[in-house]
Structure 1
């Protein structure tokens, strides 16, 4: 299942603000007292930091709810409606979300080890920074895009972590190698950057991608020129090369569109 990275956050995903009080108070109290609330009406409920591990919320309506940092370990959420819900940094380890509606849900930073997502709808869900995401719901392209987003924020180590995962899923994905090379260069790992640039160039050539091959070749040649300049005692990194890197970031984003 291909996920769509959300670059523009909605109000629901930005805030830990208290949502409008639209939930059924009786159902909320039932849930907190017994942890049993099948088919309950909990729309727009506010349950920030709540401990509901092992709760039975099968087919409950939690749409647009603020569930940031909630503990839902091993909870039964089969068929639950979590569309648009804020699950930022939620603990979902071992939860059963079979058939759940998670469209547009904010799952950034969520703990997802052992979660069951069979037949779940994750269209538009934001999983950036989530931990232990089941591999069957991710693509190499998703991870590559997340890496680009981290690089744009200046988090080059985080970007490399995503590129590594992308390459792990798709070892012959040249965009990820080239992007990782740029992040390595930004961290002053010039040998690693050159290695990635050369690997990307080889893959682009094999895949007959002329635009990609040209970008990788220019990056590789620029790195080699910098290394030669440093060997001669010149420490300057070259304004033209840095300008090229800036334009290359735009090219990397365009590759998938």
Structure 2
């Protein structure tokens, strides 16, 4: 059986129709290569654009109502004034994209990567979104940035125990031991109220580790414990957020 040199899932007739007419409602454009394509004002109502590469494409004023853009790359794309009513953009790469004056009514942005995107209203971002971004930044050792995300998560949900615990770890890595202790104790209290035994145990474990490191005479070495590796003991609580991306 001959091997195909490449796999292209889009309907080539539909792709030609889009590029020549900018009219392709309900078209099959899955995994289409449309980097830097000029699709301004295009009619893509209900089109299937899953995993399409629309990086830096011009979609200004495009009609994308009920289109499926799940997992698509829209990195740097221009969606100014586009109509995305009811569109599925879950898991898409929206970094540095422009959404000024775009209609995002009932648009599904779950799990989308939105760093640097402009024009997306704040109500589209949940506490879970900011928590997940904070965990990712912590894993990259960008603790100051992580804390900024955790703060935004807590503005939306001030009773989010996992966020307090994650912020506690980040604060400890920045040598803010007082703040770290405070956050861990708040997390522990919230977990107790919410009957989250796993979270409670994680908070207690972290508090005990901080106590041991601050008091080497009580059994802690005081040095040599990598708190990022310690996250392995907390992963079932903290790294749940990674499933959001």
With structure 1 as the length reference, what TM-score do the two structures score? 0.68
* Matched residue SS, 2:43: coil
Shift of 1:180: 1.3
Q: Is the Cα contact below 8 Å between 1:109 and 1:127 reproduced in 2?
A: no
Structure 2 residue aligned with 1:208, among 195, 208, 212? 195
Structure 2 residue aligned with 1:185, among 172, 182, 185? 172
Shift of 1:113: 5.2
Q: Which has the higher contact order (CA 8 A, sep 6+)?
A: 1
Report the RMSD for the aligned CA atoms in angstroms.
3.8
**2-structure distance, mates of 1:161, 1:50:** 36
* Matched residue SS, 2:131: helix
Shift of 1:169: 1.2
Shift of 1:66: 1.3
Task: Specify whether residues 176 and 241 from structure 1 end up closer, same or farther in structure 2 by C-alpha distance, changes over 3 A only.
Answer: closer
Q: Is the Cα contact below 8 Å between 2:73 and 2:92 reproduced in 1?
A: yes
Q: Residue 70 in 1 paired to residue 61 in 2?
A: no
Q: Residue 139 in 1 paired to residue 129 in 2?
A: no
For residue 234 of structure 2, what is the aligned residue in structure 1? Answer: 248
Shift of 1:156: 3.1
Question: Deviation digits for residues 100-149 of structure 1, max 9, x if unmatched?
Answer: 243554334544455422233456x5335363644444432343234323
Shift of 1:171: 0.7
Query: Would you say how many aligned residue pairs link Structure 1 and Structure 2?
Result: 229
Q: How does 1:140-179 map to 2 (within 5 A)?
A: 140-179=127-166
**2-structure distance, mates of 1:210, 1:20:** 46
**2-structure distance, mates of 1:159, 1:201:** 20
* Structure 1 unpaired stretches of 5+: 1-16, 32-36, 230-234
With structure 2 as the length reference, what TM-score do the two structures score? 0.70
**2-structure distance, mates of 1:160, 1:94:** 33
Task: Specify whether residues 131 and 220 from structure 1 end up closer, same or farther in structure 2 by C-alpha distance, changes over 3 A only.
Answer: farther
Q: Residue 24 in 1 paired to residue 9 in 2?
A: no
For residue 99 of structure 1, what is the aligned residue in structure 2? Answer: 86
For residue 10 of structure 1, what is the aligned residue in structure 2? Answer: none
* Matched residue SS, 1:239: coil
Shift of 1:97: 0.2
Structure 1 residue aligned with 2:43, among 43, 57, 78? 57
Task: Specify whether residues 202 and 56 from structure 1 end up closer, same or farther in structure 2 by C-alpha distance, changes over 3 A only.
Answer: same
* Structure 2 unpaired stretches of 5+: 1-5
Question: Deviation digits for residues 166-216 of structure 1, max 9, x if unmatched?
Answer: 212111111111011112222333333223212212322333333323322
